[in-house]
A = this chain, B = another copy of it.
Amino acid sequence: MDKLRVGILLFDGVEVLDFAGPFEVFSRTRLTPGVESRRSEDSAPFEVFTVAARGLPLFTTGGLRILPHFTFDGAPRPDILVIPGGFGTRALLADQPTLDWIRHRAAEVQRLTSVCTGALLLAKAGLLAGRRATTHWGALDLLASLDRTIIVERGRRVVEDGIVTSAGVAAGIDMAFSVVESICGPAVADETAHYIEYPRERTHA
């Protein structure tokens, strides 16, 4: 099977666990269970990369320094796109190149997802119109204010309505497992959760 490409957007002021959680889940998923299969990419269903507007080192919230793999212009077309959150999203709400890039990728991907306040960028790009969606508990009202047609879900970790949005920070791990489960099935998602010892909440019953 061809690997699905997972693109994760990075920007200055991205929250560390918002991108690192989904990076961990998608990059460590294996169709063959156990520890040994994690030593190679042979049974990996996903190929994960990071994308940013520019190819310079980025500073996350808290000051971790990351080098993105690709710029907007040079990135492969992702099959799954992850938009993480963080205080850095506020500046991007007025950044047309970033909103345009998200809008163009949204038209191509199989799965569009967000973590935390990444949902604000999807809303600003017009992609959540009329959909159920969620974000960090501290930004629920802001999300509603960006587009009054969004049905803002309060108190759920993962909301799937064509686009997969999730609550704050660590909920991005549950979002990633939800996508893994929908593509690879519950056994693969559960085994990967066991591998990374994450106390997963099931989102597909």
Q: Does A103 contact B (CB under 8 A)?
A: no
Binds B, one of A22-30, A74-82, A145-153, A183-191: A22-30
- Contact in complex: B65, A69 (CB < 8 Å): yes
- Contact in complex: B201, A199 (CB < 8 Å): yes
Distance A137 CA – B196 CA, assembled complex (angstroms): 10
- Contact in complex: A21, B17 (CB < 8 Å): yes
Distance A48 CA – B59 CA, assembled complex (angstroms): 13
The residue in chain B whose Cβ has the minimal distance to the Cβ of A194 is B137
**The residue from B39, B137, B170, B196 contacting A168, defined by CB atoms under 8 A apart:** B196
Copies assembled = 2
The residue in chain B whose Cβ has the minimal distance to the Cβ of A10 is B64
Bin the interface of chain A by size: 35 or more
Q: Which residues of chain A from 127 to 168 have any CB-CB distance to chain B below 8 Å in the complex?
A: 136-138, 157, 167-168
What are the residues of chain B within 8 A of A87 when measuring CB–CB?
38-39
Q: Does A197 contact B (CB under 8 A)?
A: yes
**The residue from B48, B67, B169, B197 contacting A198, defined by CB atoms under 8 A apart:** B169
What are the residues of chain B within 8 A of A62 when measuring CB–CB?
23-24, 27-28, 48
In the complex, 20 of the A-B residue pairs with CB atoms within 8 angstroms, ordered by the A residue number, are A15-B28, A16-B24, A17-B20, A20-B20, A24-B169, A27-B62, A35-B138, A38-B87, A50-B64, A65-B66, A65-B67, A66-B66, A67-B67, A136-B197, A157-B197, A169-B196, A170-B173, A170-B196, A199-B199, A199-B201
